Structure formats: structure tokens, C-alpha cells
Structure 1
């Protein structure tokens, strides 16, 4: 079963926090990364089954936009990323995220 990647990029911390919270509450996904992109932009990355990631990203976008001063800049979903992408991008399961892995 393919493990998808869902990314939401927001402006500011409150929006990314709201998006991450909504993502894990709306679907069975694991947050594998969050951090600063550039100039106040933050991103949160989740992994899970394709349908779950789609549901999580939809909920995260709505929550990020609803947060006070929140703005979702961009988002994307990669349904089945190649394994070599994990060596370049921070989308792999780490020792910190592994205990929360659902699938």
C-alpha cells in the first residue's frame, strides 16, 4: 500500500500549529517533520495512506486558514514518492516520529 506525503506551508506559527493539530485529528497520519521554510513561513509534513493524507491536508488547510492571522501559502500531496526521495527531503520516519506511526 503506498504511503503518501502531504505538506502544508503557512505564514506564521499559529497557522501551522492549527494545521498540524487538525491533520492528526482528522485522519490516521503521522507528522514526520515541521519547521521553518523562510521569512516566517512554516511547513508541516505528514505521512500515511493516500486517502488519509488527502483528508488530513483538507482539514489542515481549513484549520490553518481559520487560525487568527493564519494564511495557508501552499500545499501539495505526493501519492507514492520514490524511496530515494527520502534521502533528500525530510519525509522519512525518524526515531522521534516512529513511536507515533499508525500504519
Structure 2
């Protein structure tokens, strides 16, 4: 039996922010798979797994829980990213876009 995951208090704000930055977001916090990240964020043709953490709670400040750590360790796709704020989401999107531009420029 899977447990219905709850969203962090900052979840909706961060999802909305990713969308304002031009990303698409699929929410997965209710997928029922242990350790599966909260969202898939589509940005410039790439899907990124993103875990949202809330630094206002002790649970959020502890970082990835054991299930999330195992998933992140065993996942053979792109790394799992974690964000705690809209500022971190902005920095992450800027990083993804910069890396994509650098790859295009080196081809």
C-alpha cells in the first residue's frame, strides 16, 4: 500500500516559479513510488527531476530522506536536483540554459 505524499508548503510557489521561467512542470509527489522526486521540470528540451524541500521545517532542512537518497543514487538518468526557494529555482534554470548554450557552441 502506497502512502499519499504531502506537498511541502513552498511546493506550489516553486512550481509556479518554474512555469514563470518558461519551464513545464509535471507534479509527481503523489506518484506513490518511494523516493521518486516531486516534479519533472522540462526546460529547453530536457527533462529534469527536481525534489522540492522546505527549509522552514526540520524535515526539509535534513535534505533527502533515505528513500530519496537511494533513488538518487540508483537513478541512471540525469541527477536529481533539489531546490528550497524560488531563487534556487531561478539559478537552476539559468544553469541548465547556460550549459545547453555551451554545448551548442562547442558542437
Q: Which TM-score band applies after superposition, normalised by the shorter structure? A: 0.3 to 0.5
Hey, which of these two has a bigger chunk of strand by percent? 1
TM-score normalized by structure 1? 0.32
TM-score, normalised to structure 2, is 0.31
Q: State the structure with bigger RCO (CA 8 A, min sep 6), 1 or 2.
A: 1
